[in-house]
Amino acid sequence: AQPWINLAAMYTANRDYKMALVALNVTPMAHGPEFRLPEMPKPHWMSNNNEVMRDMVEEEDDG
């Protein structure tokens, strides 16, 4: 599976997830008007861009 194909789907899922949290408004901050949304966990291949690039190059070399 090629990771960059999933980027648009992940962006959409993350946006919809945040919009749902805002709509529910279930976690207001007690210490002020600031409202922070929890981040969705990133898949392992987004944690290190250098590693992703290296894997892509290796796939091309195997060709």
Model pLDDT for residues 1-57, shown as the tens digit of each residue:
566 667 677 777 777 777 777 766 655 555 555 555 666 666 665 555 555 556 666
Contact 16, 22 (CB under 8 A): no
**Would you say 31 and 38 are in contact if contact means Cβ atoms under 8 Å apart?**
no
**What pLDDT is recorded for position 13?**
76
pLDDT score recorded for residue 15: 77
In degrees rounded to 5, what are phi and psi of residue 46?
-95, -5
> Given this model, what pLDDT does residue 16 score?
78
Q: What is the Cα–Cα distance from 6 to 33, expressed in whole angstroms?
A: 34
Q: What confidence score (pLDDT) does residue 19 get?
A: 76
pLDDT for res 54: 64
Secondary structure element (H or E) that encloses residue 7, with its range = helix 7-24
Could you count the other beta carbons within 10 Å of the beta carbon of residue 52?
A: 15
